[in-house]
Structure 1
Amino acid sequence: MSRFFDTKIEFLKGVGPQKAALLNQELGIFTYGDLVQHYPFRYEDRSKFFKIRDLHQDLENVQIIAKVMRVELVGTGKRRLVAHVADETGEMEMTWFKGIQWVQKKLPPGAVYIFFGKPAQFGRKWSIAHPEMEPLSQSAEKRNSFQPVYSTTEKLRARFLDSRGISKIMEQLIQVCLPHIQETLPQDLLQQYQLIGKQDAVREIHFPTDPARLQRARKRLKFEEFFFLQLRLLKMKVTRTEKYRGQLLENTELLKDFYENHIPFELTGAQKRVIREAYQDMKSGKQMNRLIQGDVGSGKTMVAFICMLIAISSGAQACLMAPTEILANQHFEGLKEYADMMGISIALLTGSVKKSARKGIHEGLESGELKILIGTHALLEDVVQFQNLGLAIVDEQHRFGVAQRAKLWAKNENFYPHVLVMTATPIPRTLAMTLYGDLDVSVIDELPAGRKPIQTVHRYDKDRLKVFGFINQEVQKGRQVYIVYPLIEESEKLNLKNLMDGYESIARAFPNYPLSIVHGAMKADAKDYEMQRFVKGETKIMVATTVIEVGVNVPNASVMVIENAERFGLSQLHQLRGRVGRGAEQSYCILMSKYELSKDSRVRLETMVRTNDGFEIADVDLKLRGPGDLMGTQQSGITDLLIADLSKDAPILTLARDAAQQVLANDPNLSQPENAPILRQVRQHKKSAVNWSRIS
């Protein structure tokens, strides 16, 4: 859009400084450009009018044409304004509690208005509180039966910037701004994807002439948003592959030795495919930036270790960064077993590692003797310097900020390290395409042989004694059990109380079994001690908050009981369930909840019972919550989407990505004359100083 759209909103007719200040504060609308992109969130059919005698309780909003009979102020103290209005079938009241003086001036007796709002009945009298209203004579000239509804706030409504008020200033803006709206897409794309022009789309989205044209306007604007988001991500990918060199890591001697002589189990077909994909990247001479998505228990750690072997064979070092000490410890224990088989040096660096041990780790990294470093964000400290970091692996990537991850790449001055990002949080395809559009994506979509699917059931609080009986049976078979309580964000004290109450009731129910307890308020070493007791089988039941959500691996644990399961999100429930089912025995997940559930809570629990497929669960989660709440989206540009919706508009996203790929394949620099509109738009939206192409 042109500079015209940078004009401050206060200069628009009908706004002025006071309303402008409110629009700034309440809706973040500062300029003409902000206002024109404040799209309606729904539309109302205003073609129908009701007679007063036809009103009934089940109606939502209604339109009534009525004459003002008389107006009066009622009550003492906080007074209200009541307008008595009538049509040929009866009388009713219109009531205002705010803005009384302004309304009073607008309602002379005898004036005929269109009133719009939700009717309520008090005794025999119908009333509408704070109706929208406009004179019938004024409305007749320019009335459109399909009216936009804009989001607004209480403060704005008090200044008559309700949806209708915003619509009126939008009318002013559309009249003056249409000639300034520049086309952002080339003609051939408009024709190929049957899209209307930008000017038509903006006019129709705010003031649609009919439902069919509105649909075309929405499609056009959604396509445009997705197109420029995908274009940006794809350009990053091109820049990264062309500009950022990676070390040639192609020696596979250690891999062959490990595979032929030491590997403890056969790799799945999916693991082999993903290793091949990563190896192709590592020997390409370009920096690898690959996301590995694997459901819980799919064997991502083994894939990571084999990639480390390729790096070490080729003379480089490798590191793995995990979001928590528990998870870093777990990776270290698992990988150390393999590294020791191969005679490869490996160390753990977390906040708990003593100063004396750190010194040895730092020296080993700088000399090149230490080949693998596992750790938390302690890896990012300036004193941690590698001789030659060739491979950086980031686990559960959404828990690290962009700036934190960027610090890893500075650990090698000659080449950017190859990057593997691992996540056990399945991401719907549409979200992955947007969140990770600049990464290459590999999916481990196969579980190791011999794993039995976890059986999931939903039980209510009244079934607790039966659940305890089942837990007892499993422990007597030699198995172990998790019982997890939710975190209540508002209150740490309440969290601890709920957990301790739960712990005491479990201790009473199972007096003969040793218990572990883990919660967020514990110190790291105490938490680790309790975890290790459970891992070693010294305790039979682990009572915990969600600190055990990610990565804990106890093959002997066969039951996961989730208390107040309705308080958890779907992806959390799926992650927690993944803590069991890691051995050869049948495992179970029991979702405990109260009987009264919201619609969304019931859908979540029914989904968990129905399927173990993390990708199906992620799709349901996206539909329930929308993308803005899902992990990692704050850094993706998704939250900048004004009209497109990832959970509903997947087909348009796919078209837009295809179009962006087609444009860049034919004209990577956007230098051809027909792509001038795209280039102009890209230049106007270069905001970010972060170099996204280097950081996953």
Structure 2
Amino acid sequence: MNNQQFQTPIEYLKGVGLARAEVLKKELGIYHFEDLLKHFPYKHIDRTRFYKIRDIEPDMPYVQVLVRLMSKELIGEKHTRRLVAQAKDDTGFIELVWFQGIKFVEKILVPGKVYVIFGKPGFFNNKVQMAHPEMDAYLPNAIKQNGNLSLQPAYSSTKKLEQFTLDSKGISKLISGLLKQHARDIHENLPAYILNRFKLAPRAESYRNIHFPNDANQLKEAQYRLKFEELFFLQLKLLKSKQNRNHKFKGNIFNLVGHYFNEFYAHKLPFELTDAQKRVLKEIRLDTQRGVQMNRLLQGDVGSGKTVVALMSMLIAIDNGFQTCIMAPTEILANQHYQTIKGLVGDSFIEVALLTGSVPNKARKVIHEKLEDGSLNILIGTHALIEDKVQYKNLGLVVIDEQHRFGVEQRAKLWRKNVVPPHILVMTATPIPRTLAMTLYGDLDVSVIDQLPAGRKPIETLHYYEAHRLRMFGFMKQEIAKGRQVYVVYPLIKESEKLDLKNLEDGTEIMSREFPLPNYRISIVHGKLKAAEKDFEMQRFIKGETQIMVATTVIEVGVNVPNASVMIIENAERFGLSQLHQLRGRVGRGAEQSFCILMSSEKLSQDGRTRLKTMVKTNNGFEIAEIDMQLRGPGNIEGTQQSGVLDLKVADLTTDQEILQQARNLVIEIFEKDPQLALPEHQILHLAFQTKNAGLSWDKIS
């Protein structure tokens, strides 16, 4: 693609102008010729077939019919005014109706002429009817040029765009004009050997055929070519970035496994590590010995023991004379990490501190001093860790938890806290489907903890309808009588008129009636509480002073109460799969059998039913993540929106996994043979990579 031509502002395209350009920018983000070219149709309507009137059925979406216009007539007054025309073919009659644009349509309709009509059929008084059909005069020789007998593209538009006659047809006209004028400027950006090996159609032809194919086969070939190209250049960018980092960013070498690691492993670790934890520790150990900055993603289901792996990695860093830190997205989660790590290492083993927005200035000053003189080994906190005044003496390893909640710039600030960039370990308890990990984290090495610690029993998940509420109360009482604790999670704090949902305030009232003092005590936690109030309520529950915690989703992460064995989720159909899975992970942390009860109304959407069935069927976070991606699409999975990586125009990670794998394998093969893209056959890739011809905004990709 000739970059210069396609970076031309959209107002300079024939038929656009300033007013239409403004609305295209605001409504669709179309600023340049390239943006318009990449406003791909969301579907194609089959115009390759003519129907007979007698074959039309009520449930047909669109039909195309060849008819002779018999008569036209204006009926009604003012707001009931409409234009009605009668038309026929050799099998029957059809009534055509217009309620808008009547003057214009009446002028162009000529009784006795033959027309190609296209639209959604309906039936009125057992007669076939079509409202506001598209009409073209039947010109046998010019029928293809008019867009008939082809697959007609349908483009997304908006009400505002329609006011500027930029409905699907108007957009189609602009794209057609752009292609007529500039198709010759769409240059190839893949080497001939790749085109041949993967049987890819030429680039310019693919852009024409994805918009205006003559048949389904042309459309399929064009889609495959452009999907492959998009995913190939995405992987090229990610793996090139990884390669550059390996050359550019030297890493501190952790040669030693010494006193702190060995002492912890031999005397403080309260359980045997799983094989998966040992494997991941070995991968981290090898990374930190290579002299290159480690960038590793650690995926592990809720409760799989990621924090212990992170701690043991930090102990290796400390053994080698370095400081470490953990950055968490919320105070609750930072606090949880602090309590867990302090509980594991004790008070006098190493120096651990917590730095969040709630820490008073006096304590903060002490933390800053200890960081700067090197006596503080582990600092745990929120984004307060990246403030300019936080200076480390020798930061060697950074652990980032739930990293998708942090922006690229926030993460980069941590890198700059040391002369030699620290090693980075990114942790997530949100299982990410393989294809998503390859695009979101394609430049990171990935480790997976796919085993739960020994002795953990799988959580039993049950789905109850509203009619089973008394049974649910009875079950809660049984578990509390055994000395266990219960979470009850609601989607809302206050009742909403728009959503007929159980809410926390009503729920607390119902729970207080069903579980009265003095036999039962209830903690209440939600996002509107001040940090100190929230912490007070959490601590009461953690210490076992309350048996029931009524909460909103603030407890999704960061609460670890091994004695809590029941999680009840009200209006479970309103939660996404990954959120349901995270909430369920708050129980099952002790040796006792734990339960998750999903409460829902009888009326469930198809997706809602699928989500609840999935939760009952499996505890496997990766299986759940795959189903979640199929239901919601990759762009809506938590954390993917802000990454910018998933601004895919034509590829779809839920359906194009095979193409993604092909593209990634090819990029790996190319870099093994030609890391600098210096060979003659790769000059075309080098050029596409240097310019933005590859069709991706590189600056959006972290």
TM-score (norm 1): 0.94
Match of 1:205 among 186, 194, 210: 210
CA distance in 1, matches of 2:124, 2:199: 52
1:49 maps to which residue? 50
1:645 maps to which residue? 652
1:101 positional shift: 4.2
CA gap of 1:259–1:341, structure 2 versus 1, over 3 A, is farther
1:572 maps to which residue? 579
1:170 positional shift: 3.0
Asked whether the equivalents of residues 644 and 700 of structure 2 are also in contact (C-alpha less than 8 Å), the reply is no
Alignment of 1:99-498 (within 5 A): 99-137=101-139, 140-142=143-145, 143-253=148-258, 254-340=260-346, 343-412=349-418, 414-487=419-492, 498=503
1:132 positional shift: 2.3
CA gap of 1:294–1:662, structure 2 versus 1, over 3 A, is same
Asked whether the equivalents of residues 409 and 417 of structure 1 are also in contact (C-alpha less than 8 Å), the reply is yes
CA distance in 2, matches of 1:355, 1:198: 61
Matched, 1:671 2:678: yes
* Aligned-partner residue type, residue 183 of structure 1: E
CA distance in 1, matches of 2:387, 2:330: 16
CA gap of 1:277–1:443, structure 2 versus 1, over 3 A, is same
Asked whether the equivalents of residues 495 and 502 of structure 2 are also in contact (C-alpha less than 8 Å), the reply is no
1:285 positional shift: 1.4
Matched, 1:65 2:59: no
* Aligned-partner residue type, residue 499 of structure 1: L
2:589 maps to which residue? 582
* Aligned-partner residue type, residue 140 of structure 1: I
CA gap of 1:691–1:609, structure 2 versus 1, over 3 A, is closer
What is the aligned residue count? Answer: 691
The C-alpha deviation readout for 1:149-175, integer Å capped at 9, x for no partner, is: 222233444554433343333333323
1:551 maps to which residue? 558
CA distance in 2, matches of 1:588, 1:403: 40
Asked whether the equivalents of residues 627 and 633 of structure 1 are also in contact (C-alpha less than 8 Å), the reply is yes
206-215 vs 365-374, greater mean Cα deviation:
206-215
1:590 positional shift: 0.5
* Aligned-partner residue type, residue 625 of structure 1: R
Asked whether the equivalents of residues 495 and 501 of structure 2 are also in contact (C-alpha less than 8 Å), the reply is no
* Structure 1 residue matching 2:265: 3-state secondary structure: helix
* Structure 2 residue matching 1:640: 3-state secondary structure: coil
CA distance in 2, matches of 1:490, 1:20: 43
* Structure 2 residue matching 1:634: 3-state secondary structure: coil
CA gap of 1:644–1:179, structure 2 versus 1, over 3 A, is same
Asked whether the equivalents of residues 393 and 419 of structure 1 are also in contact (C-alpha less than 8 Å), the reply is yes
456-465 vs 483-492, greater mean Cα deviation:
483-492
1:32 maps to which residue? 33
* Structure 1 residue matching 2:346: 3-state secondary structure: helix
Asked whether the equivalents of residues 246 and 287 of structure 1 are also in contact (C-alpha less than 8 Å), the reply is yes
* Structure 1 residue matching 2:464: 3-state secondary structure: strand
* Aligned-partner residue type, residue 389 of structure 2: V
1:53 positional shift: 4.0
Asked whether the equivalents of residues 10 and 20 of structure 1 are also in contact (C-alpha less than 8 Å), the reply is yes
Structure 2 unmatched runs, 5+ = none
421-430 vs 669-678, greater mean Cα deviation:
669-678
Matched, 1:510 2:512: no
CA gap of 1:355–1:11, structure 2 versus 1, over 3 A, is closer
* Aligned-partner residue type, residue 679 of structure 1: H
1:382 positional shift: 1.8
Match of 1:613 among 620, 644, 647: 620
Asked whether the equivalents of residues 627 and 638 of structure 1 are also in contact (C-alpha less than 8 Å), the reply is no
Asked whether the equivalents of residues 9 and 31 of structure 1 are also in contact (C-alpha less than 8 Å), the reply is yes
The C-alpha deviation readout for 1:338-397, integer Å capped at 9, x for no partner, is: 332662011111111111111111111111111111111121222211111111111111
* Structure 2 residue matching 1:85: 3-state secondary structure: strand
Structure 1 unmatched runs, 5+ = none
CA distance in 1, matches of 2:267, 2:33: 69
Match of 2:668 among 661, 666, 669: 661
CA distance in 2, matches of 1:666, 1:111: 66
2:610 maps to which residue? 603
Give the fraction of aligned pairs with identical amino acids, expressed as a percent. Answer: 57
Asked whether the equivalents of residues 51 and 87 of structure 1 are also in contact (C-alpha less than 8 Å), the reply is no
The C-alpha deviation readout for 1:94-119, integer Å capped at 9, x for no partner, is: 33444444434433333332121112
1:205 positional shift: 1.4
535-544 vs 278-287, greater mean Cα deviation:
278-287
1:72 positional shift: 4.7
CA gap of 1:13–1:341, structure 2 versus 1, over 3 A, is closer
1:210 positional shift: 2.6
Asked whether the equivalents of residues 318 and 371 of structure 1 are also in contact (C-alpha less than 8 Å), the reply is yes
Asked whether the equivalents of residues 120 and 127 of structure 1 are also in contact (C-alpha less than 8 Å), the reply is yes
CA distance in 1, matches of 2:16, 2:228: 31
CA gap of 1:691–1:407, structure 2 versus 1, over 3 A, is farther
CA gap of 1:85–1:29, structure 2 versus 1, over 3 A, is farther
- For the aligned residue pairs, the C-alpha RMSD in angstroms reads 2.4
CA gap of 1:16–1:83, structure 2 versus 1, over 3 A, is farther
CA distance in 1, matches of 2:472, 2:495: 29
Asked whether the equivalents of residues 195 and 220 of structure 1 are also in contact (C-alpha less than 8 Å), the reply is yes
TM-score (norm 2): 0.94
CA distance in 2, matches of 1:97, 1:682: 52
683-692 vs 521-530, greater mean Cα deviation:
683-692
CA distance in 1, matches of 2:416, 2:520: 50
Asked whether the equivalents of residues 80 and 95 of structure 1 are also in contact (C-alpha less than 8 Å), the reply is no
* Structure 1 residue matching 2:169: 3-state secondary structure: helix
1:688 positional shift: 5.1
The C-alpha deviation readout for 1:111-149, integer Å capped at 9, x for no partner, is: 332121112233344432332222221752434333322
2:534 maps to which residue? 527
* Structure 2 residue matching 1:516: 3-state secondary structure: strand
1:445 positional shift: 0.6
CA distance in 2, matches of 1:593, 1:66: 53
* Structure 2 residue matching 1:183: 3-state secondary structure: coil
* Aligned-partner residue type, residue 128 of structure 1: M
CA gap of 1:52–1:157, structure 2 versus 1, over 3 A, is farther
216-225 vs 675-684, greater mean Cα deviation:
675-684
CA distance in 2, matches of 1:610, 1:632: 25
CA distance in 2, matches of 1:221, 1:366: 52
CA distance in 2, matches of 1:85, 1:14: 35
* Aligned-partner residue type, residue 6 of structure 2: F
CA distance in 2, matches of 1:444, 1:612: 14
255-264 vs 78-87, greater mean Cα deviation:
78-87
1:28 positional shift: 2.7
* Structure 1 residue matching 2:471: 3-state secondary structure: helix
CA distance in 1, matches of 2:21, 2:417: 49
67-76 vs 546-555, greater mean Cα deviation:
67-76
CA distance in 2, matches of 1:155, 1:689: 30
34-43 vs 151-160, greater mean Cα deviation:
151-160
